Amino acid sequence: MRKLDYHRLGNFRYAVITLVGEDGYPFSVSTDFKILPDKKIVLQKPAQPSKLDGKRVNVLFNHITGLPGGGYGDRRYMLVWGTTHEDNGSLSFEPDTMSEWDEKILPFDQYCAKSAPQGAKYLGRLQASVEA
Amino acid sequence: MIPVPAWVRETFDSYLVCEFTTVKSGKPVTLPLLPFYLPDSGKFVVTSSILFSKKAENVRQNPKVSLLFSNPEGSKAGKHAVLVQGMAHADDSDLDHGWEKYLGYWRKKEPYIDAYLAEREKFGWFWKRIVVQVEPKKILAWKNGDTSRSPEVFGA
């Protein structure tokens, strides 16, 4: 897995747990979290979903800062996939893969430039479907 | 259209970002996005540049999505958590102009967007945008954001 920076992770205020429910819809819920000295991630257990032991989930840590004139900046997020484990009312999260963006590390224009292959791929597929 | 209380509508209107989830091969993919709430239809719209188009591709494979409104930062609304589960449709029939009808909503949430638009040529592919419209099927709402309690459920 891409290395999870626990120091930067600790600067987020809350977490969003998401899993795919039995009805096929994604179910997201916000909750508090803390990082223990041994780097264990502990999530506050939400009322729903009621069963989270052994579930494959993603956890999004997202941050923006509102601007005085409206809108927002200081965008950053970490999206971490892994497994949740319930133990005596606490909910630990074992991460395995992640993706992230922090505009202070990768400015938006550079992020767009880095994503150009995805755009080209999309346009290529669209062109092919028009020609088919 | 699913009827919801005023505080839920205010959350939809004023929260600047939502956590938008698509499903890829059975796995959730959640990203922060700028949502637009269409009060006349009760539907939601997000737009996606082709640069970040994986979410639209996921929608084509599996239209079941969710939007969570949990972050009041930058809004004047109170702190709540509202989850919308719905069916999404991705429209890329007019990448250059299809999204422009939502500019009024966009401007309301990001007043500086016109400055970026003035440099449209500079960020050419950023402005090739797919419109993803979501029709809600179920809404779960936690007033005051207390998710340790069960949510109010609408439209079930």
Per-residue pLDDT, averaged over A106-115, amounts to: 93
Of B34, B25, B44, whose CA–CA distance to B86 is shortest?
A: B44
Which of A13, A18, A28 is the best residue to mutate to test the B interface, defined by the most B CB atoms within 10 Å of its own CB?
Answer: A28
pLDDT of residue A113 exceeding 70:
yes
Out of B66, B71, B123, closest to residue A25 by CB: B66
Contact B49 A62 (CB under 8 A): no
Structure letter (DSSP) for residue B95: T
Radius of gyration of chain A (CA): 18
Asked if A56's CB is within 8 angstroms of B31's CB, the reply is: no
Cβ atoms B39, B108 nearer than 8 A: no
Taking the CA atoms of chain B, what radius of gyration do you get in angstroms?
Answer: 15
Contact B109 A70 (CB under 8 A): yes
What are B149's two structure tokens? 């309690």
The rounded distance, in Å, linking the Cα atoms of B12 and B39 is: 9
**With contact defined as beta carbons under 8 Å apart, do B91 and B131 qualify?**
yes
Mutation choice for B interface testing from A23, A30, A96, A110 by most B CBs within 10 A: A30
Three-state secondary structure call for residue B36: strand
CA–centroid distance for A93 within its chain = 13
Q: Does the ipTM surpass 0.90? A: yes
Contact criterion met (CB below 8 Å) for A85 and A91: yes
- Cα torsion at B46, B49, B55, B57 (round to 10°)? 120
Please check whether residue A81 is in contact with residue A61, taking contact to mean a CB–CB distance below 8 angstroms.
no
Q: Using the predicted structure, report yes or no on whether residue A1 has a pLDDT greater than 80.
A: no
Task: Write out the residues of chain A at the interface with chain B, using a CB-CB cutoff of 8 A.
Answer: 14, 16, 18-20, 24-31, 44-48, 56-58, 60, 62, 64-67, 69-72, 75, 77, 79, 81, 109, 112, 115-116, 118-119, 122-123, 126
pLDDT one-digit tens code per residue, B66-101: 999 999 999 989 999 999 999 999 999 999 999 999
Q: Which residue among A29, A58, A115 sits closest to B28, beta carbon to beta carbon?
A: A58
Q: List the single residue in B21, B81, B109 with the smallest CB-CB distance to A18.
A: B21
pLDDT digit string, tens, across residues A11-65: 999 999 999 999 999 999 999 999 999 999 999 999 999 899 999 999 999 999 9
CA–CA dist B1, B151 (Å, integer): 19
Nearest CA distance, A48 vs chain B (angstrom)? 7
**Nearest CA distance, A91 vs chain B (angstrom):** 13
Enumerate the β-bridge partners of residue B152: B141
| Cis amide leading into A107 (omega within 30) | no
Express each pLDDT in B111-128 by its tens digit: 999 998 888 887 789 999
Q: What's the whole-model pTM score?
A: 0.95
Which candidate from B23, B81, B125 shows the least CB-CB separation from A119? B125
